Amino acid sequence: MNDETSALAGKRSLGTLAVIGCSKVVAGMWRVREWNMSAAALNRYVQESMALGVTTFDHADIYGGGEVEALFGDALAQTPSLRAKMQIVSKAGIRPRGSSAGAVGVKHYDTSRTYLQAAVEHSLQRLKTDHLDLFLIHRPDHLANNDEIADAAESLIREGKIRAFGVSNFTTRQFDSLRAKVALATNQIEFSPFELQALDDDVFTALSSAAVSPMIWSALGGGRLFSETDELAVRLRRELTTLAEKYNASSWVSIVYAWIFTLPCAPYVLVGSRRLESLQQAVDGSGVKLSREDWYAILEAARGKPVL
C-alpha cells in the first residue's frame, strides 16, 4: 500500500461524512423562507457561516414547497465559487398535498426509483448546482422496495448527481435492512435532552458498529430548553449553566452541543437558526470535552433520576 492509498484508507475510516468534507455543525435551512432575506443577504449569511467553519447546508424538497432550495440557489448564484467550498445536503420522499413535485390528494411517502431520481433532478435545478454532496430519504416508506432504492441511489452516484446517500428518521432495523443493499452515509435523527429514544433503542450503538455518524436535529428540543415555565427545562438549564462556568464555555447552549458531541458515534449536529451566534455556540460546543461524570449529570437532569 503506497502513502496515498494509506492516507485515503485512513480518511475513509472516519466515515463518509468526513470523506465528503461535511462540517461537524450543519446549517439547517428549513426556515429560510421565514427569514425574509434577499439573495444578497442570504449570500452574506452563507459566507459568514462558512467563515465560522460551518460549510454544510441542509435542505429538503418539501421545505417551503421547494422555495427554500430556490432561494438558496439564487443566493449561491451571486458567488458561484462558494459551491466548491461547501457541502449541500437534501432530502426527499415526503409527498404532502400541494407538493412541489406535483399535486397529490393524500400525503404519503414515495421512495420509488422514479420519484427519487426526479426529486434529485428538481433539487439540482432549484439549487443551481450539478450535484448534491449528500442525498437522504426523508422518512421511512412503508411500501419501500430496498432493491429499488439501492438501484436508484447507485445510479445517481454513478451519474455524479449525488456523492453519497443516506436516510433520515430510520429505526435501527430499517437502517440495517437498507444498508444491506446499499452504502449509507448517515441517519439523520432527532436527539436532545428531551428526546432520548436513540439512546434507549441503541440507535447510536448500531451506528457506531456500522462506522456511520448520525446527523442530529432538534438538539435544543425545538426551543423548549429556553422555556421559563417548563420545570424540566429550568432544571436542565441550571445544570448546564453550572457546567458552562466549570468549562469556561461561552454559553450553557454550547454545553448542550458538547454533550451531544461527546457521544462515541461521532455525531454531526444541525442548527436551524439565522443567528450566527447560534452557529457559533454549536461550534464552541464541539471544542468542549466533558468528563464522563458531567455527561451523566446532564442525563440525570434530563431524566430526573440517576442511572440504575
Q: What average pLDDT does the chain have?
A: 94
On whether the CB atoms of residues 62 and 93 are closer than 8 A, the answer is no
Residue 64 has what pLDDT? Answer: 94
Residue 174 has what pLDDT? Answer: 97
Q: Are strands 94-95 and 187-190 parallel, antiparallel or unpaired?
A: unpaired
Report the share of the chain in percent with pLDDT over 70. 94
On whether the CB atoms of residues 256 and 225 are closer than 8 A, the answer is yes
Summarize pLDDT for 71-116 with one digit per residue, the tens.
Answer: 999 999 999 999 999 999 999 999 987 655 566 789 999 999 999 9
Measured CA to CA, the distance from residue 30 to residue 22 in angstroms comes to 18
Q: What is the DSSP letter of 257?
A: H
Mean pLDDT in residue range 140-153: 98
Q: Which residues are catalytic?
A: 63
Residues 6+ apart with CB under 8 A from 199: 191
Mean pLDDT in residue range 228-249: 97
Measured CA to CA, the distance from residue 263 to residue 261 in angstroms comes to 5
The full set of domain ranges for the chain reads 16-185
Residue 278 has what pLDDT? Answer: 98
Residue 277 has what pLDDT? Answer: 98
Q: In sequence order, what are the beta bridge partners of 215?
A: 188, 268
Q: In sequence order, what are the beta bridge partners of 58?
A: 28, 89
pLDDT of residue 2 exceeding 90, the answer is no
Mean pLDDT in residue range 134-146: 98
Measured CA to CA, the distance from residue 57 to residue 89 in angstroms comes to 6
Residue 10's pLDDT band (boundaries 50, 70, 90)?
very low
Q: Angle between the 113-127 and 67-77 helix axes, to the nearest 10 degrees?
A: 40
Residue 15 has what pLDDT? Answer: 81
Measured CA to CA, the distance from residue 217 to residue 42 in angstroms comes to 22
Residue 99 has what pLDDT? Answer: 53
pLDDT of residue 9 exceeding 90, the answer is no
pLDDT of residue 301 exceeding 80, the answer is yes
Mean pLDDT in residue range 133-154: 98
Q: Which cell is 199 given? A: 439512546
Three-state DSSP class for 162?
A: strand
Other CB atoms within 10 Å distance of the CB of residue 209: 12
On whether the CB atoms of residues 58 and 26 are closer than 8 A, the answer is yes
Write down the architecture of domain 16-185 according to CATH.
Alpha-Beta Barrel (3.20)
